[in-house]
Structures are given as C-alpha cells and as structure tokens.
Structure 1
Amino acid sequence: MDTKQRILNQALKAFNKSGYGAVNLFELAKSLEMSRGNMTYHFKDKEALLKELIDQLWEKLTSGRVAKSIPSFQNLHHDAQLYYRLQQEYTFIFHDNQVLMHPLIAKKMKSLCEKTIKDIETAIAFSIQLGNMKVEPAPGVYKNLAITSWMMMFFWRSHQMVKQDKTKEDGEKVIWSLLLPHLTEKGLASFKKFFGEDYLTNMGEAFDENMDSYLTF
C-alpha cells in the first residue's frame, strides 16, 4: 500500500469514529507515525482528504449501481445492498449534515437521490406493465412509495444510530413490506422465486393485534 492510500485509509477510519469536524491533521499524522508536514505533502489540508474520499465513494456508487440499466426489483435489491455497504464504509459522510451539505458533495448527492427515486418509480411502472404489480390504488401512492423506499435506503443507518440499534439488519425488508401488498399473484410468485420462501416468512416480528398489549392505565 502506498503512503497516499495509507493516509486515506487512516483518515476514513478516524472520520468514521470521531466525525469529520473533530479530527485534526496533527492527530491524524501522529496516528500514522509521520510528521504533519509529510502528510500534507500528499494532502494539503483536511478538505483535500475529504475530496479524495468523496471521489472514492462516488466511483463505487456510480459504477456499482445496476437499476439504471434494467428497471427491475432484482436490480433495485442490488442497489439497496450497495447503499447499505457504502453507508457502513463511509459512515461519516451519511451521518453528518455538515458533510452532506459540503459543496464538494451536496449537488452530487441531490442528483443521486433524485435519480434513485426515479429508478424506483421506473421499476414500479415496469412491474405494472409486466403484471407483477397492481395499478395505483389512489393518486400519489406509488410516488410516495418510491420516496419512502429511497428513505429506507438512505437513512437506515441514521435510524439505527438514533435507536442505538446494534443489529446488522438492513432496511430492505421494510421496503419489501411496503411493496408486498401491491404485488399481484404473479408478482408474489416472482418475489418468492427470487428471494425464496424463507425470506417471505422472515420479514420481521409478527404484529400483535391484541389491544391489551398497547393500552395502559
């Protein structure tokens, strides 16, 4: 591993642990057992490190997405998993509003989010044409479904952080829970074929319909 990549790896580790704003170059150089001057020879300041890490993330996001090519739920499944992996790898970017709103990434992230929502809408339209999804039950339902599905991809790790949820479960089952009621019999058969019967029977904890469980006096 060359020095530049070693610095980037250590910076990513430090940013993920403490947050971008809390890390200074002197401490980062010390953790690498090098002088600050030696480190700034490769990256003149912290923003240069941020730019390089954002470029890395963006390359992985743009080259890894497949839903843009064929609008299928299988490809959206692939892209959802890509989101979750990269959020785990670049936690500090997705959890810090100051980083998300940084000029280096704000426009890119906005464009990506809009494109992802459009990809989900296209996949829904494609599924309706194939007979895998029912027609929209009321105006706005499927657009709202696309937005909510995107939110389950983009904000799932933040939701886990707020809840202090230490499990490795991702939010994809929540997405499918929202989509399942809108599948036709044909669509449900395709779902089972792709994910397997076990996936359908392990969507999560069964809902308790007993009102006594919720009412307290």
Structure 2
Amino acid sequence: MPRSQTNNKDAYHLILEAIDMGIYKPGDRLVESDLAERFGVSRTPIREALQRLETQSLLERDGRSLIVASLDHNQMAELYVVRRELEGLAARLAARHATDEEVRVLRDMVEADDALVDDPVALSRANRRFHEQIHLASHNRYLVQQLDLVHRTMALMATTSLAAQGRGEIAQSEHRGIVEAISARDEEAAAEALRDHISIAFMTRLKQDAGRRERG
C-alpha cells in the first residue's frame, strides 16, 4: 500500500478514535496543523481524513472551520431507531450463524465486564466491544459495515447511558440474556432481547438529557 494511503487510513482512524474517546467533543474545532502535530503525520492525510469525516456527517462546518458534529433530539431518536433494528438483526443472525467459539467469547466478555460496572467509561468501551462481537458473529459483512457507521455516530453523544445510576448492572444482566438466547439458537428471542436492550438504553439517555435540561 502506498505511504499516502497508509497515512490517510491512519489519520482517519486516529481522529475517529480521539472523538470516540471524548478527547474531541461535540462543538470542538479541529485544526489541520494541530492534528498533524498531535498525531505526527503530514497535513495532507489529515486534510483527507477531515474531508472523509465531514462526508460521514461526523464533522460539520462552522464558517470556515470544521467542528465535531452534535446530535439534536430528533437526530438521536432517528439514530436509535436504526440502531435498534440493525442490532436486532445482528442478534438474530448471530443466533443462526455464530460458532460455538464465538458464543463462548461473548459469554466470557460478559463475565469479565461485570468487574467494570462502577466505571462507566471503561464499561462503555467494553460495551462497544461486546456489541461489535455480536456484529461479527452475524457473519454478514454488509450489516457489520452499517453498524460500524451507526456506532461511530454514537460517539457524537457527549455522555454514555451507562453513567446513569444502576444502569451498568442492569445492562450486564441484559447482555447475559442476549448471549443465552444466541447460545440457545433462538433467533427471535435473541433479536427481541437486543432490541429491548437498545430501547432501554435510549430511554435512559432521554432521562439523562431531561435531567440536564432541568438542572440547566
């Protein structure tokens, strides 16, 4: 692979990871020279990466500047509708296609993540890995691509629903139910369990936002 293509790929994923980790939050301005210095790459791949992120609606224009995009209430609701259906489909296909080894990995993830329920940031990262493992277990590359885009857009939300009081333990219980349905090869139960999981996460986030508005 030519060096320019490698740099472009690296710059894109480095910026995306920084947004996902909250280093750059919605509304933050991204400057080519600052990013190039931070990540140790030239400005050309940074520029190409920013253009790609803008095309994906992860960045937006503020005059001549590019800033990390933010989601309004309607955009968030639309995103959760799409996520709920796609995640449900992934669980259904995982129940059909996942290997025994993939099911064991999912079960091990849930057990390991129980230790993170008091650390919302770490649990959020683990939660994403868990969902990505289900996506892969669906054995459908096109679905994986669409869910990857959905999860990238989720990074535009400044907080995680897992930060809500008690949500971590409840989410872990929901994860266990999803894995058990996949392990039992019950496609309908797996799809329903994951759709319900996403719906509860959405309701939790709505309550968080309502609380912030009230305090504001």
> Structure 1 length as normaliser, TM-score?
0.32
Please state which structure has a larger fraction of its residues in helix.
2
The structure that is strand-richer by fraction is 2
Flag the structure with more relative contact order, 1 or 2, with Cα contacts below 8 A and sequence separation at least 6.
2
Larger Cα Rg: Structure 1 or Structure 2?
1
> TM-score scaled to structure 2, two decimals?
0.32
